[in-house]
Amino acid sequence: MTHSPAAQQYREKQAGDLQIGDHVFPPGDGQAEEISRIETIHDDFGVPALLMVTTVDGGLLRISVSSSVPVGSTPASDALSPLLPHPTDALSPLLPFPGNALSDLAGAADGAGSPAEAGGEAEAGPAVVVPSLPAGLPAFLAPSAGELALIPEPDGTPESVVAAAAAEHPGNNGVQVLSERLVKGINTKSGSCLRDLSDLAHDLCIILRDPDHALAIADLLNVLPFDGNNDRWTSIERALALSSFICREAGLDERGAVYEKLLRAPESQETDPFKARVNAKVRQRKLNEPNLYDKEIFRSIDNSNHDAEREWRYLRLESLLFLRAHGGSETIGMAELQRRIANELEAVRA
C-alpha cells in the first residue's frame, strides 16, 4: 500500500485490533475511510481468519486477521497508548480502569499538553468507544474470601485424607492402587499425581457412591490456582466439576457456586483483548458442541464390548459434569443435562 506520510498521518495497526470508527487506508493512494462494520470469518477450527471490513461509503475490504494495516492517526488515542493499549477493543471485564476512567485519562492527557496549546492543529479522530461485553461471554468474577471459606481445610495432611478414604473401601482394587501411590507423598507440581487424585475422587463418587470422601479428595485439588499449564489444569478442572455436582446434589448450592467460579479461572488470564475474545468464542463452541463419545459408545455396543462401553460412558459423564458446572450451554439446557447425567450414572454403575 502506498501512502505519503507528508500528506496524511497514519500508523500501523494489527487487523485483529480494528474496530468500528477507525479510519483505514484502502490499497492505493486514496484517503482514509471510516469503518462502519466488521465481520469476522472463522476457519474450520473456530479461529478468526478473515475480516470483512465495510466502510461508511459502502466500500468492502477483505483483510487477513494477521495483517498490519495503515490507519489514520488519532492523537487522543496515541496519548493513551502507554497506559492502555487499544482501549476501544478491550472487553469490559478486562479493563483495568473502572467507570469513566478512560475519559478521565483522555482529559488528563489533553491537559498535560495538547496540540492546541503547543500551537499546532489536532486532527479529528474517531471517538473512543468501549464496547459492552458480547452476549454469551459472561465476565469472570473470582470468589471472595468469604466464599472461599466455604471450602473446609483438609482434616490432616493430604496423605492422611487419602488414607482415610482408602480405609473405607478396603476391597476395591482401584482405590487401593491409587491410594498406595499417593500416600507415599503428594506433589502438587506433578501432573501424574494430580491425575491420580482426580481419578480417586471420581471413583469414590461415581463408582463407590461415597461423595463425602470424594469431595475431601477433590478439595486437595480445588484450591490449586491456574498457573497456565493446561495439562495440570485438566485434572483440577475435573475435580472442580465433580465437586460442583456433589454439592448441588446435596443442596450445598453456595459451595457449589464457588467451585463453578474457580472452574472459570482461566478466563481471566489472557490480557490481550483480541486473544481473550477469541478464547471466549472457542470456549463457547466447546460448550455448544461437546464431545459425548457417541460413535465410540455405539461401536462398543455393536461389538458387545461392555467394558469399553462403560469406559466411554465414563468419559461422557465427565463431559456432562463439565457442562453442568458451566450452567449448561446454548445447545443443552440444565434439565436435559440432569436427565443425561442420571442416565450415564446408572449405566456406569450397572
pLDDT tens digits, one per residue of 127-170: 433 334 444 444 557 889 999 999 999 999 999 999 999 999 99
Q: What is the pLDDT of residue 73?
A: 54
For residue 330, what is the DSSP state? S
Question: Around 56, how many Cα atoms within 13 Å sit in the side-chain half-sphere?
Answer: 13
For residue 153, what is the DSSP state? P
What mean pLDDT is predicted for residues 267-276? Answer: 80
Q: What is the pLDDT of residue 10?
A: 64
Q: Please provide the average confidence, as pLDDT, over all residues in the chain.
A: 79
Domain boundaries, the chain: 10-111, 145-269
Provide the pLDDT confidence category of residue 44 given band limits of 50, 70 and 90.
low
Find which of 73-87, 97-111, 133-147 is predicted with most confidence, using mean pLDDT: 133-147
For residue 266, what is the DSSP state? G
pLDDT at 34 over 90: no
pTM, rounded to two decimals: 0.62
Q: What is the pLDDT of residue 45?
A: 65
Burial class (CB in 10 A: 0-12, 13-18, 19+), 8: middle
pLDDT at 19 over 60: yes
Q: Which three cell numbers stand for residue 97?
A: 480502569
Whether CATH 3.30.70.20 fits 10-111: no
Burial class (CB in 10 A: 0-12, 13-18, 19+), 153: exposed
The C-alpha atoms of residue 176 and residue 204 are separated, in whole angstroms, by 11
Find which of 79-88, 142-151, 212-221, 277-286 is predicted with most confidence, using mean pLDDT: 212-221
Q: Is the pLDDT higher at 235 or at 117?
A: 235
Q: What is the pLDDT of residue 123?
A: 46
pLDDT at 185 over 50: yes
Q: What is the pLDDT of residue 248?
A: 96
Q: What is the pLDDT of residue 91?
A: 30
In this predicted structure, which of 102-111, 254-263, 278-287 has the lowest mean pLDDT? 102-111
Q: Is the pLDDT higher at 28 or at 242?
A: 242
CB distance 81 to 11 below 8 Å = no
Q: What is the pLDDT of residue 108?
A: 38
Q: What is the pLDDT of residue 132?
A: 40
Q: What is the pLDDT of residue 268?
A: 74
pLDDT at 277 over 50: yes
Q: Is the pLDDT higher at 217 or at 229?
A: 217
Q: What is the pLDDT of residue 75?
A: 39
Provide the pLDDT confidence category of residue 9 given band limits of 50, 70 and 90.
low
What mean pLDDT is predicted for residues 115-137? Answer: 41
- Strands 48-55 and 10-14, bridge-based pairing: unpaired
What mean pLDDT is predicted for residues 244-263? Answer: 96
CB distance 256 to 231 below 8 Å = no
What mean pLDDT is predicted for residues 266-289? Answer: 85
Helices (H), the chain: 75-80, 101-111, 145-148, 158-167, 173-182, 191-202, 211-222, 230-249, 253-263, 273-288, 294-302, 306-325, 334-349
pLDDT at 347 over 50: yes
